[in-house]
Amino acid sequence: MDQGDSAGRLVRPFTLTGGRTRPSRADFTLITTVTTVDPPPERAARPQPEQVRILRQCARPVAVAELAAHLDLPVSVVVIMLCDLLEAGRIIVHPPHPVRRDPCLDLDLLQKVRDGLGRL
Amino acid sequence: MAGSDPAADAVTAPDTVKILIAGGFGVGKTTMVGSVSEIVPLRTEEPLTIAGVGVDDLDGVEGKRATTVALDFGRITIGRDLVLYLFGTPGQQRFWFMWNDLAIGALGAVVLVDVRRPQSSFAAVDFFERRGIPFVVAVNGFFGRHPYPPEEIRDALALPRDVQVLLCDARERESCRDVLIALVDQLIARVHPLLGAPAQGRPGSCGGA
């Protein structure tokens, strides 16, 4: 049977979030990386089509900003869907490297970035 | 042997850090991101109805087309365990509410200055100064030409001595790379004054040719 909501691009972004405009949690930044849990947890509910797209994209770790760009969806929409997936145990989240200026930045990290840029 | 812990089985996610490329509208931020990024700059668009409540008045916008804020960014893989993202901040002043979010957790920033209209980057300088976020100023030449020496730009922008001014060409990969290296050197100099020497005393060090 043809499902009415399989129209993909024609779906307005916040329809994908059930009308929600705010994430249920705050752990997603633009450079938080997301990885799909494989195999999925037992008794996992069947994901929505857009969620399936996310799970496919995140077979390898992907930053939230990149994910949003690949899905052609606003970051705010993607983050709400990621919250659902995280709560369902379908993804693992890796936070960005913490940047603390107090007392000072991590010298090892800076040196690493410096060396990496030098190789460009 | 891999256990049943999904976290252990997954491909290890790299650490991520970010640097902002800021400056006025049309100074070449996306060009700079594209010059050093290993991927074609990506773009995400945020509907303003969510992000900019109370900031932009959408009344009377013809056809009620939703306004969006575009965010361009690129990526540099530093190593298997570390990836650097470069975010071009939205240039128009009315989108600056996004800068606060972007600035959180950034290593530092490059303020790109158009040599023909440096005043368009005043506000960006101000933004990072007020928040104590380290930055370098990169002067993007018009077709690579630089009519003003770095010291003149420094005076025009009233920059403190510890902020470097570099001449660059946003179209050139090496030039943009050197700007980023100068920023990281400046960050290192704050942590360890002996290691990151160039930040002090040589404010006019020059990036691209």
Does residue B21 form part of some domain? Answer: yes
Residue A86, CA atoms < 13 Å, CB-side half-sphere: 18
Taking one residue from A and the other from B, the number of pairs with CB-CB distance under 8 angstroms is: 139
Angle A38-B44-B108 from CA coordinates, rounded to 5°? 95
**Residue length, chain B?**
209
What ipTM describes this predicted complex? 0.85
Name beta bridge partners: A93. A34
Give yes or no for residue B91 having a pLDDT over 80: no
Q: What pLDDT digit, counting tens, does each position of B3-44 carry?
A: 444 444 446 899 999 999 999 888 999 999 999 999 999 998
Q: What pLDDT digit, counting tens, does each position of B33-42 carry?
A: 999 999 999 9
Nearest to B17 among A61, A92, A97 (CB): A97
Q: How confident is the model at residue A23 (pLDDT cuts 50, 70, 90)?
A: confident
Distance CA B152, CA A70 (A): 43
Contact B78 A69 (CB under 8 A): no
Does residue B180 form part of some domain? Answer: yes
Residues above pLDDT 90, as percent of chain B: 51
Helix (H, G, I), strand (E, B) or coil at A97: coil
**Mutation for testing the B interface, residue in A31, A62, A66 having most B CBs under 10 Å:** A31
Instruction: Count how many domains chain B has.
Output: 1
Q: What would the DSSP string read from start to end of chain B?
A: ---S-HHHHSPPPPEEEEEEEEESTTSSHHHHHHHH-SSPPEEEEEEHHHHTTTTS--TT-GGGPPPEEEEEEEEEEEETTEEEEEEEPP-SGGGTHHHHHHHTTEEEEEEEEETT-GGGGHHHHHHHHHHT--EEEEEE-BTTB--S-HHHHHHHHT--TTS-EEEE-TT-HHHHHHHHHHHHHHHHHHH-TTTTGGGTT-TT-----
Give yes or no for residue B125 having a pLDDT over 70: yes
Q: What pLDDT digit, counting tens, does each position of A44-94 carry?
A: 888 999 999 999 999 999 999 999 999 999 998 999 999 999 999 999 999
Min distance A49 CA to chain B CA atoms (Å): 20
Model pLDDT, residue B197? 54
Contact B44 A35 (CB under 8 A): no
Contact B82 A111 (CB under 8 A): no
Distance CA B126, CA B138 (A): 15
Q: In one letter, which amino acid is B96?
A: W
Model pLDDT, residue B48? 67
From chain A, pick out residues whose CB is under 8 angstroms from the CB of B177. Answer: 117, 120
User: Residue A41's CB: how many other CB atoms inside 10 A?
Assistant: 11
By C-alpha distance, the chain A residue nearest B78 is A116
Mean pLDDT over B64-90 rounds to: 87
Rounded alpha-carbon distances, angstroms, from residue A93 to A12, A16, A42: 26, 21, 19
Mean pLDDT, chain A, as a whole number? Answer: 87
Mean pLDDT over B98-102 rounds to: 82
More confidently predicted of A12 and B176 = B176
Nearest to B107 among A37, A99, A111 (CB): A99
Residue B15: closest CA among A106, A36, A80, A49: A106
Q: Looking up tokens 């420094």, which residue turns up? A: B154
Distance CA A75, CA B43 (A): 10
Give yes or no for residue B175 having a pLDDT over 90: yes
Model pLDDT, residue B198? 52
Burial of B116 (0-12, 13-18, 19+ CB in 10 A): exposed
Distance CA B48, CA A11 (A): 18
* Residue B146 domain boundaries: 13-199
Q: Is A48 on the interface with B (CB under 8 A)?
A: no
Contact B18 A31 (CB under 8 A): yes
Contact A65 B73 (CB under 8 A): yes
Distance CA B5, CA B124 (A): 45
From chain B, pick out residues whose CB is under 8 angstroms from the CB of A102. Answer: none
Min distance A1 CA to chain B CA atoms (Å): 33
Contact B50 A74 (CB under 8 A): yes
CATH code at position B73: 3.40.50.300
Q: How confident is the model at residue B99 (pLDDT cuts 50, 70, 90)?
A: confident
Does residue B205 form part of some domain? Answer: no
Q: What pLDDT digit, counting tens, does each position of B40-64 carry?
A: 999 988 876 544 444 444 444 444 4
Contact B184 A117 (CB under 8 A): yes
Residue A107, CA atoms < 13 Å, CB-side half-sphere: 10
By C-alpha distance, the chain B residue nearest A70 is B42
From chain B, pick out residues whose CB is under 8 angstroms from the CB of A99. Answer: 17, 105-107
Does residue B8 form part of some domain? Answer: no
Distance CA B109, CA B114 (A): 16
Model pLDDT, residue B61? 41
Nearest to B11 among A61, A115, A117 (CB): A61
From chain B, pick out residues whose CB is under 8 angstroms from the CB of A111. Answer: 188, 195
More confidently predicted of B206 and B36 = B36
